[in-house]
Amino acid sequence: MSYKQTFLWAVDNFLENNKKQQMIKEAALWIKKGEVIAFPTETVYGLGANALDEQAVRKIFEAKGRPSDNPLIVHIAEAEQLNDLVLQVPSVAKKLIEQFWPGPLTIILKKKEAVAESVTAGLDTVAVRMPDHPVALELLKEAGVPVAAPSANLSGKPSPTNGEHVYHDLKGRIAGILDAGGTGVGVESTVLDCSSDVPVLYRPGGVTVEEIEAIVGQVKIDPSLKSKDEAPLSPGMKYTHYSPNGSLTLVRNRMQIPTLLEEAKSQGKRTGVLTTEENQDFYEADVVVSCGKRSDLATVAHKLYQSLRKFDEEKAEVIFSEIFPSEEMGIAIMNRLEKAAGGNII
């Protein structure tokens, strides 16, 4: 599948409202036609198609090169749309929806047959969220259908946090891009399975475990999040994601990184280091990228993917990264870094 032209609709804050509305309507029309459109959310850019149209959903997988057994998240603009997608909404899910929607929390529930088979990879559950982004919500309302949307990047690459990232990866592979500038959170939504009696966390993200447990009590954690030797409960979590082109290694003791850099340089490799503002002057590498402040992990999450893409832009071949505390937002950051590194930690 290829497109002679990928439309780019720039809907920044300086655009007149009527022009912005017209662009959103045009993008929504492509979704209604069964095509695939990239659009912004508060986490990362999504690649959306009508979640009730099997042929449209398959175009997402084709454009991304995404494995067919990796389920998609369905995005909705109104909580009432859940009635078209799921069999029931348990009380625990209702509490979470009231607290965190719209926002970066995805909830898994038992699905209805109307949901396209490819969305759920044949499972009897569907993942749903309501994004907290004005452009996304307007697009979803205008389209009038639930929209299945994974991140708008080539499968396995860092997720896109601005329209340029999407254009780089998917130009000619999708119908259009609704570009509203940079995203806010920077990492994907938290995924919580509420289809059984006790909620299970499959993916840490923009809503922390601590915030969830403050509302519904203790939740189970997918064992694979604690140990790479455990098989993930969700099929989509078994794949390597977010990886730069160069080899990435996470280093527990950052004082070892200078020695590792010297070894890589002696082999003629172009080196890179992923660090923070507090430590960026400590390293002598070809490419040193600060992804935020260690003292404020929300800034790290916000810049994480664009930092990983920076190494590709600078053609770094061997990359070493500091690690971060595995608590609150740090859990999501480390989850993404471990997947980007393919579990390579020293």
Residues 114 and 161 in one domain: yes
Q: Is 75 annotated as a binding residue?
A: yes
- Host domain of residue 314: 247-340
- 254 labelled ligand-binding: no
The amino acid at residue 291 is C
| Average pLDDT over the chain, rounded to an integer | 93
Contact in structure between 99 and 56 (CB atoms under 8 Å): no
151 appears as a binding residue in the annotation: yes
Are 83 and 211 in the same domain? yes
Flag whether 2 is in a domain.
no
Name the more confident of 229 and 109: 109
Residue 226 in contact with residue 338, Cβ under 8 Å? Answer: no
Reply yes or no on whether the pLDDT at 242 is more than 90: no
Overall residue count recorded for the chain in this entry: 346
2 belongs to an annotated ligand binding site: no
Q: What is the 3-state secondary structure (H, E, C) of the chain?
A: CCCCCCEEEECCCCCCHHHHHHHHHHHHHHHHCCCCEEECCCCCCEEEEECCCHHHHHHHHHHHCCCCCCCCEEECCCHHHHHHCECCCCHHHHHHHHHHCCCCEEEEEEECCCCCHHHHCCCCEEEEECCCCHHHHHHHHHHCCCEECCECCCCCCCCCCCHHHHHHHHCCCCCEEEECCCCCCCCCCEEEECCCCCCEEEECCCCCHHHHHHHHCCCEECHHHCCCCCCCCCHHHHCCCCCCCCEEEEECCHHHHHHHHHHHHHCCCCEEEEECCCCHHHCCCCEEEECCECCEHHHHHHHHHHHHHHHHHCCCCEEEEECCCCCCHHHHHHHHHHHHCCCCEC
CATH of the domain at 23: 3.90.870.10
Q: 13: pLDDT confidence band, cut at 50, 70 and 90?
A: confident
Other Cβ atoms less than 10 A from the Cβ of 227: the count is 7
- Binding residue per annotation — 203? yes
283: domain CATH number is 3.40.50.11030
Amino acid at 238: K
The answer, yes or no, to whether residue 236 has pLDDT greater than 90, is no
Distance CA 125, CA 207 (A): 21
Domain shared by 57 and 81, yes or no: yes
pLDDT at 223: 87
Select the more confidently predicted residue: 312 or 224.
312
pLDDT confidence tier of residue 17, bands split at 50, 70 and 90: confident
Question: Has residue 63 been placed in a domain?
Answer: yes
Our measurement of the distance from residue 23's CA atom to the centroid of its chain's CA atoms, rounded to an integer in Å, reads 24
In a domain, 346, yes or no: no
Counting residues of the chain whose pLDDT is more than 70, the rounded percentage is 95
Looking at the domain assignment, is residue 11 inside a domain?
A: yes
Across 230-245, b (16+ Cβ under 10 Å) vs e yields eebbbebbeeebbbbe
161 and 65 in a common domain: yes
Q: Is 242 known as a binding-site position? A: yes
Do 132 and 278 have their domain in common?
no
Residue 169 within a domain: yes
Q: Mean pLDDT throughout 3-21?
A: 82
Q: Which residues pair with 74 in a beta bridge?
A: 128, 148
The per-residue pLDDT for range 145-159, each reduced to its tens digit, is 999 999 999 999 999
Are residues 58 and 181 located together in one domain of the fold? yes
- How much is the pLDDT for 224? 79
Segment 277-334, tens digit of pLDDT: 999 999 999 999 999 999 999 999 999 999 999 999 999 999 999 999 988 999 999 9
- 90 within domain boundaries: yes
Q: Judge whether 79 is annotated as a binding position.
A: no
Q: Is the pLDDT of residue 226 over 80?
A: no
Q: With 60 as the cut, is the pLDDT of residue 239 above it?
A: no
pTM, 2 dp: 0.93
For residue 215, name the pLDDT band (cuts at 50, 70, 90). Answer: very high
Tell me the one-letter amino acid at 94. Answer: K
Confidence (pLDDT) at 72: 97
Same-domain pairing of 118 and 208: yes
Question: Does residue 270 share a domain with residue 171?
Answer: no
Angstrom distance (rounded) from CA 56 to CA 84:
18
- 70 labelled binding-site residue: yes
In a domain, 81, yes or no: yes
Domain boundary among 218, 238, 258: 238
345 in a structural domain: no
End residue of a domain, out of 238, 265, 290: 238
Last residue of a domain, one of 191, 213, 238: 238
Whether residues 130 and 161 share a domain: the answer is: yes
Let me know whether 142 and 37 are in one domain: yes
Instruction: Give CA–CA dist 43/302, Å, rounded.
Output: 9
Structural domain total, the chain: 2
Q: Do 145 and 227 lie in a common domain?
A: yes
CA-only gyration radius of the chain, Å: 20
Q: Are residues 217 and 323 in the same domain?
A: no
